[in-house]
Amino acid sequence: MRPSEGLGNRVSLSIGDIGYELATQDNGIVLTLDPDYIPFIRDCDPDISLRVHFDRMNEVELGPVLFDSGGVWVLHASNEEYVYGFRAAEASPWGGLGFSAMMRLNRDLTTGSLSIRPPVDEQATSVPAFSHASSEVLTVALLSRGRGVELHGLGLESQGAGYLFCGVSGAGKSTTARIWCRESEVEILSDDRIIVRKADGAFSIYGTPWHGDAGFASPASVRLDRLFFLRQGSTNSIRPLSSGEATANLMTCCFATFWNLEGMAFTLSFLDEMATSVPCYELTFCKDHSMVDFVRQL
C-alpha cells in the first residue's frame, strides 16, 4: 500500500497509550506513514521523541551486538545508547552498511533518531516516519520498562466484555477474527498483535497497527475479562488452566527483551500476575459461528 502523504514535518502517535513524537528538522521534507498508522495519530505528550532524517549510513560506528533477531533487525549497544539496525531487502545503491534504516536511542528510551536510507531519487522530499519493524521493536522496549507486554493475540470487545485469544502463527487468530467480526456489538482491536497493560488494578488490552491476515488494526482498548489459548478442532471445548500453565503459554506468545535482564524480570512478573488475575483457558474451537455462542455463554 502507498504511504499517506501530507503529514508535515511532525506527527504524534499513541499506540497502547504510549506517546510517540516523530519530527524532521528539514522543512523541505514531509513525513509519511503507512495507512495502518493513521488511526493511531493523536495529539499527546510523548514518552519518546525521534528525529527522522535521510542518511546513507556509509560510515557508522556500532557497538557490540546485544541481540540478533536472525531476521529483519539486529541490536547493538554502547555505553550511551542502543542502536537498532534494520536489514535492507536488497543492496544499497549507496554502498555502506546493509541497513535500510537505523534507530539510535538513549539509555532512558526518551529520545533518539531514526535514519532512513535515501531512495535512489535524490530529489525525494518524503521520509517514511515508521516501518512496522522499527515501531514494533521500539514499543516492545518501551513496554519492558514497567509498562506492559505485547502478545501474539487477537483482542476484541463483545457486548462490553474484553476477550484475548492468544496463539502462535497458524493457531487461528485471523480465522477467529473473521468469525467474530460478523457478529453485532463486536469490535476487533487486532488480529495478530495486542498490547496488555495494567492500570487501577485491572488489565486492559489495546489494538496495534501490526495486524495479521485479516487486517484488523484499531487504537481502541478494553478491560480484559477472559484469556484463551487457541486450538483448532472439530468441536468447541474448554479447559481451565492453572496460573502456572497460563504463564508458560503466555511466554510462548510474548515479545520479550531477552537481552535485558531487568526487562525480562518485569515481563515474567507481569505475565505471572496476569495469569493469576485473569481467568485463562485452553479453547478448542470450530471454525464457525458456534464458537461465538460458546464463548459468550461462559
Q: What is the pLDDT of residues 202-219, one digit of tens each?
A: 999 999 999 999 999 999
Quote the mean pLDDT of the chain: 90
**CATH no., domain 148-296:** 3.90.228.20
* pLDDT in the model for residue 55: 83
Residue 240 is placed in which grid cell?
A: 481451565
Of the two residues 96 and 124, the one the predictor is more confident about is: 124
The pLDDT-based confidence of 1 (bands split at 50, 70, 90) is: very low
User: Which residue in the block uniquely carries the three cell numbers 478442532?
Assistant: 233
Gap between the Cα atoms of 207 and 212, Å rounded: 12
Question: What does the pLDDT look like over 157-184, one tens digit per residue?
Answer: 999 999 999 998 888 999 999 999 999 8
Q: DSSP assignment of 132-196, as one string?
A: HHHHHHHHHHHHTTTTEEEEEEEEEEETTEEEEEE-STTSSHHHHHHHHTTSTTEEEEESSEEEE
**Does the pLDDT at position 137 exceed 90?**
yes
* pLDDT in the model for residue 216: 95
Residue 133: what residue type? Answer: A
Q: Is the pTM of this model over 0.75?
A: yes
* pLDDT in the model for residue 165: 98
Q: Where in the chain is the domain with CATH 3.90.228.20?
A: 148-296
In terms of Cα–Cα distance, which of 54, 46, 51, 55 is closest to 22? 51
Residue 157 is placed in which grid cell?
A: 470487545
Of the two residues 59 and 16, the one the predictor is more confident about is: 16
Question: What does the pLDDT look like over 228-247, one tens digit per residue?
Answer: 999 988 899 999 999 999 99
Does an H or E element contain 264, and which?
helix 261-277
Gap between the Cα atoms of 290 and 296, Å rounded: 10
**Does the pLDDT at position 3 exceed 50?**
no
Gap between the Cα atoms of 220 and 17, Å rounded: 10
Q: What is the pLDDT averaged over residues 43-54?
A: 94
